[in-house]
Amino acid sequence: MARAKPAGAGGGVVVSAEQQEIMRKLGGVLPLLSFGRLITAALVPLAAGLYLVTTTAWSVAEWAWLQHRKERAERAERESAGAGRSSP
Return the pLDDT at 57. Answer: 98
- Where helices occur in 1-88 by DSSP H, the ranges are 17-29, 36-86
Can you give the pLDDT of all 88 residues of the chain as single tens digits? Answer: 555 555 555 567 888 999 999 998 888 888 888 898 899 999 999 999 999 999 999 999 999 999 999 999 999 999 998 776 655 5
User: What is the Cα 4 distance to its own chain's centre?
Assistant: 43
The whole-number pLDDT of residue 33 equals 86
d(CA 47, CA 50): 5
Q: What is the pLDDT of residue 44?
A: 94
The whole-angstrom separation of Cα 27 and Cα 25 is 5
